[in-house]
Chains A and B, each alone.
Chain A
Amino acid sequence: MRPPLPLAVEAAVVRAAGSLSRLAGRGGGTTLPGKLLWKLDPAAIDALAARLPQGSVAVSATNGKTTTAAMVAEVLRPRVRVAHNDSGANLVSGVASALLHAGEAELGLFEIDEGALPEVTRRIRPKALLLGNLFRDQLDRYGELELVAGRWRAAVAALPHAQLVVNGDDPQVGALARPGGRVFGLDDPRVARPALQHAADSKYCLRCGTPYEYAAAYVGHLGDYRCPKCGHARPPLDVTARDIDLRALDGASFTLAAPEGEARIELRLPGLYNVYNALGAASLALTLGIGLDDVRDGLGRFSAAFGRFERIAIDDRRVLMLLIKNPAGANEAIRTLVEGAAPRVAVIALNDAIADGRDVSWIWDVDFEPLLAGLDRLVATGSRAAELALRFAYGGLERDRIEVVPSLDAAFDRGLELTPAGGELTVLPTYTAMLALRRTLASRGHVTNYWERAA
């Protein structure tokens, strides 16, 4: 048996591996050190987490976890030094890498993949856990929604002392609420949808299977629900968003109402889904003892998490890039787009790598139809470009308006060419397509690589 390395030496060695990987031009090297540590000595992850003087907090959800965690980081920034896996590397290895680079950090802030929640929380033992939502996503990778919900129940049960901050508007997530924590949700039926969306997931009562009745349905199955048969209903809310004002692509504002008081929150990010993200972030920050003013200011400063929503100027044109990755998230991106000016030219990219989901059937659950009326030209791209083109053709877009250009770079250039000077090109990529497009843009000097920014 080899003698155990002192933790500091071990950490230095694996950090060096990450630098080498970066120097060798092999991408961000964001998870390599963590992967090595996990292989060499998984218990070291527990030990590194235990060194953080203020402990750790964790954020998980199907949609919005990266943005929500980044919002929390911005709110905490003036008060607390955090170790944060801010490039979206959210499996054990990504968390381990962030811990390796924790330096003088006081608090760990970790975004965690919803499927990996029990495995990661078992190691880092967070003192607070923000649970946002559960939607159908990458069934080929995560299995059925009920399976993920079961993992969350197990993770939470194994952390009896952690404070739980849960979204009460999601039946599966709201059911995890327990004393000592907080339940958040929306309280503004004016911004509700007229009906549940096609892709609504948890629409049957958790207890008896009867369809819920919704006093307000906000995003997917999130809303104010009640079972007409057994009475199971949304739990009482501790923190709410009221008087919500959605300004299409230009931002949103709402009144945050919490036991600590009320504050008007101005967001530079658009869409009701970002109101949920901000509300969750605010609830977690308040739970950590951050004051209302700091919460308001931090959320007001926040611009966008990596790759989720970006506007990039390219010569005399602008590019608006919105990540799409599952039906609920894509529906919200489209709703927000259409509330502004519906795009005339769009480049939509569908890849089918593991990180995108190998099963591309989810695009048929997305409500793309609101885009059709205003769309002059669709450039369908990515490794499953033809499948995406079929989705639009059978959705009702004339085939002569659809161009299939599998190469992402060529499709992007074609989109720019179709965009008039002074106009804006809308780009909706899946995850790996987003990474590839950002690399292209960076190589042309338009955006910075995320690992440069994070360094």
Chain B
Amino acid sequence: MRIRVGHLYPDYLNIYADRGNIAVFSARARARGDELDVRAIGMGDAVPVGEIDLFYVGGGQDREQALVAHDLAAKSEPLREAIEEGSAFLAVCGGYQLLGRFYRDVAGAELPGIGLLPLHTIAGERRMIGDVLLECTWAGETLAGFENHAGRTILDDGAEPLGRVLSGFGNDGHSGFEGCRYKRAYGTYLHGPLLPRNPWFADRLLEDALAHAGVEERFEPLPDELEHEAHTVSAARARSRGGKF
């Protein structure tokens, strides 16, 4: 199968090694006999609804994020439509914030979001920086990563988080939750990058993408010794030095 990936703003939102996540998608799809067809969706480009199985958007520095926010707002209708009709979506850090309704900076100025995830983000004075470990009961797995964000993300009542924080700050440093998921869309602050040390999550997103393409498949696991070792070390880091207020 060809899995069609739409990478949003790769030139602007690439601060935390986002190409690592794409490389993981690509290699793990290939190992199952599938092929990744990655296209960039940049400034002014149209979103081809129905033709993308998996969207990806990474994080940027504040300056780059502000540069794309208004362009992204103009794409909000087709992106929402794509999620409703079953495309998978992974948004990391700055990209995660922009999927909410708005991002308000320390001075009170608001960047528009696209309202795809039921949340909003308000910048705080202290950045939340450190290793993180999440428990994702919905999947029976854990996620290990690194977070670095000034924004406090507040989920709407009833919104589903990505996971419960075992160590680290999470969405806002207080709620005990991290990230958000809605249908096949997932937003998170975890980078590192996220997927190399959390291969189950990469596989889940690829399965979601295949489902959108009309193929229901559960992958056989791969021999992931390096991945599991990296996960173990990262999880241990979070337990010993994950951030908290």
Residues in chain A within 8 A of chain B (CB atoms): 136, 139-140, 143-146, 198, 203-204, 209, 211, 352, 358-365, 383-384, 386-387, 389-391, 393-395, 399, 402, 404
- A143 touching B127 by the CB < 8 A rule? yes
Which B residues are CB-close (under 8 A) to A209? 63, 67
In chain B, residues 78-131, which have Cβ atoms closer than 8 Å to a Cβ of chain A? Answer: 127, 129-131
Chain A's interface: helix, strand, loop or mixed, by majority? Answer: helix
- A146 touching B17 by the CB < 8 A rule? no
Chain B CB count within 10 A is highest, among A204, A359, A389, A391, for: A359
Of A211, A358, A365, A390, which contacts B230 at CB under 8 A?
A390
Shortest C-beta distance, A433 to chain B (Å), equals 15
- B17 touching A365 by the CB < 8 A rule? yes
Given contacts A364-B193, A383-B233, A394 and B146 within 8 Å (CB-CB): no
- B229 touching A136 by the CB < 8 A rule? no
Which B residues are CB-close (under 8 A) to A352? 237
- A364 touching B129 by the CB < 8 A rule? no
In chain B, residues 192-233, which have Cβ atoms closer than 8 Å to a Cβ of chain A? Answer: 192-193, 196-197, 226-227, 229-230, 233
Which B residues are CB-close (under 8 A) to A363? 17
Chain A CB count within 10 A is highest, among B16, B17, B131, B229, for: B17
Q: What interface size band does chain B fall in?
A: 35 or more
Which B residues are CB-close (under 8 A) to A136? 15
- Contacts A209-B63, A404-B229 known; list 8 others, CB within 8 Å: A144-B63, A146-B62, A358-B237, A364-B23, A365-B14, A387-B230, A389-B230, A394-B23
Shortest C-beta distance, A198 to chain B (Å), equals 7
Which A residues are CB-close (under 8 A) to B27? 394
In the assembly, what is the distance between CA of A145 and CA of B15, in Å?
A: 10
Of A145, A390, A399, which contacts B197 at CB under 8 A?
A390
Instruction: For A143, give the chain B residue with the smallest CB separation.
Output: B127
In the assembly, what is the distance between CA of A204 and CA of B67, in Å?
A: 9
Q: Is B135 an interface residue (CB 8 A)?
A: no
- B63 touching A146 by the CB < 8 A rule? yes
Shortest C-beta distance, A391 to chain B (Å), equals 7
Which A residues are CB-close (under 8 A) to B234? 387
Of B23, B63, B131, B196, which contacts A387 at CB under 8 A?
B196
Given contacts A146-B62, A364-B193, A394 and B233 within 8 Å (CB-CB): no
Shortest C-beta distance, A360 to chain B (Å), equals 7
Given contacts A139-B148, A387-B234, A390-B197, A361 and B226 within 8 Å (CB-CB): no
- A361 touching B197 by the CB < 8 A rule? no
- A198 touching B19 by the CB < 8 A rule? yes
Shortest C-beta distance, B229 to chain A (Å), equals 4
In the assembly, what is the distance between CA of A358 and CA of B17, in Å?
A: 15
In the assembly, what is the distance between CA of A364 and CA of B131, in Å?
A: 17
- A358 touching B63 by the CB < 8 A rule? no
In chain B, residues 19-60, which have Cβ atoms closer than 8 Å to a Cβ of chain A? Answer: 19-20, 23-24, 27
Which B residues are CB-close (under 8 A) to A146? 61-63
In the assembly, what is the distance between CA of A358 and CA of B131, in Å?
A: 8
Which A residues are CB-close (under 8 A) to B12? 204
Shortest C-beta distance, B68 to chain A (Å), equals 10
Shortest C-beta distance, B201 to chain A (Å), equals 14
**29 A–B pairs (Cβ distance < 8 Å), ordered by A:** A139-B148, A140-B146, A140-B148, A144-B63, A203-B11, A204-B67, A352-B237, A358-B130, A358-B131, A358-B146, A358-B241, A359-B16, A359-B192, A360-B192, A361-B17, A361-B146, A361-B192, A363-B17, A365-B14, A365-B19, A384-B230, A386-B226, A386-B233, A387-B234, A390-B227, A394-B27, A399-B226, A404-B226, A404-B229
Residues in chain B within 8 A of chain A (CB atoms): 11-12, 14-17, 19-20, 23-24, 27, 61-64, 67, 127, 129-131, 146, 148, 191-193, 196-197, 226-227, 229-230, 233-234, 237, 241
In the assembly, what is the distance between CA of A402 and CA of B229, in Å?
A: 14
Instruction: For A206, give the chain B residue with the smallest CB separation.
Output: B63
Shortest C-beta distance, A395 to chain B (Å), equals 7
Shortest C-beta distance, B190 to chain A (Å), equals 10
Which B residues are CB-close (under 8 A) to A361? 16-17, 20, 146, 191-193
Which B residues are CB-close (under 8 A) to A395? 23
In the assembly, what is the distance between CA of A394 and CA of B227, in Å?
A: 11
- B233 touching A387 by the CB < 8 A rule? yes
Which B residues are CB-close (under 8 A) to A203? 11
Which B residues are CB-close (under 8 A) to A383? 233
In the assembly, what is the distance between CA of A404 and CA of B225, in Å?
A: 11
- B17 touching A394 by the CB < 8 A rule? no
Which B residues are CB-close (under 8 A) to A144? 61-63
In the assembly, what is the distance between CA of A386 and CA of B192, in Å?
A: 13
Which A residues are CB-close (under 8 A) to B23? 364, 394-395
In the assembly, what is the distance between CA of A364 and CA of B15, in Å?
A: 10
In the assembly, what is the distance between CA of A65 and CA of B196, in Å?
A: 33
In the assembly, what is the distance between CA of A359 and CA of B73, in Å?
A: 31
Which A residues are CB-close (under 8 A) to B227? 390
Chain B CB count within 10 A is highest, among A209, A211, A384, A390, for: A390
- B15 touching A139 by the CB < 8 A rule? yes
Which A residues are CB-close (under 8 A) to B148? 139-140, 359
In the assembly, what is the distance between CA of A391 and CA of B193, in Å?
A: 10
Which B residues are CB-close (under 8 A) to A394? 20, 23-24, 27, 196
